């Protein structure tokens, strides 16, 4: 869930999210090198939609229940 401008929580339909987290998702961004280490930069995916890190190739944060 995410807050909109008026403070109400907005749910993201799971059908619009990928099953697994990877860089093909439109909400994915590279992790900063200090977050996971420069040699493991591609091991974590930063989700701009949920503003959190997720392990690459694990289930999407929005589809977890």
Pick from 25, 15, 11, 13: nearest CA to 54? 25
Domains of the chain, residue spans: 2-63
pLDDT in tens, 4-52: 455 566 566 778 888 999 989 999 988 776 766 666 667 888 899 889 8
pLDDT over 70 at 2, yes or no:
no
């Amino acid at each position: 869930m995410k807050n909109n401008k008026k403070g109400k929580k907005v749910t993201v339909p799971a059908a619009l999210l990928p099953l697994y987290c990877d860089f093909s998702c439109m909400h994915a961004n590279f992790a900063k090198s200090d977050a996971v280490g420069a040699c493991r930069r591609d091991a974590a995916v930063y989700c701009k939609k949920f503003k959190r890190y997720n392990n690459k190739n694990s289930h999407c944060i929005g589809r977890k229940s």
